[in-house]
Amino acid sequence: MAEKMRIGIIICDRYRHCAGGKCFRALREREGAFKSYAKDADVEIAGYTSCGGCPGGNVEYAPEEMIRNGAEVIHFATGLLVGYPPCPRIDHFKDYIEAAFGIPVVMGTHPVPEKYYRLHQKLGTWEDNKWNKRLASLQDPEEVRKAYN
């Protein structure tokens, strides 16, 4: 088995009471953004917290604690991308964390639930090309998206 990989997850504060079920299931099943980790990789959560609410005050401090707990990468929970409206500061958060802490940030955790996928398609939310890059790791087949509704 590969060496242990530790990750941190930052969720949107709108979902601060989320128990993380979809994120943890996706990690276990290696779906969504977690497809990049080998099935036999030992991946551990080093921290799980919200951004602290707009404008994201916890983003300035939480990564440091996660890194002290061994985090090697930070994932932004899928809710930051698919909640409505999607987080308008997500690119700033990513740039800040990578510059301030020298740790990579991955956009997303669990696959985009089908109901959100269809709604954002209908609204045209993701028509801007920057969304292709943000959502790249969350491209899962429809049957997988439906399983996350």
pLDDT for residue 60 is more than 70: yes
CB of 85 closer than 8 Å to CB of 126: no
pTM, 2 dp: 0.94
How high is the pLDDT of residue 132?
87
Check which CATH number belongs to the domain holding 131 and give it.
3.40.50
Distance, in Å, from the CA atom of 51 to the CA atom of 41, rounded to the nearest integer, reads 27
Element (H, E) at 65: helix 62-68
How high is the pLDDT of residue 3?
73
How high is the pLDDT of residue 42?
94
**Domain range for residue 63?**
5-147
CB of 55 closer than 8 Å to CB of 86: no
- Count of H helices and E strands in the chain? 7, 4
How high is the pLDDT of residue 2?
59
pLDDT for residue 1 is more than 60: no
Cross-sheet strand order for the sheet of 105-107: 43-50, 5-11, 73-76, 105-107
Domain count, the chain: 1
Tell me the pLDDT tens digit for each residue of 7-28: 999 999 999 999 999 999 999 9
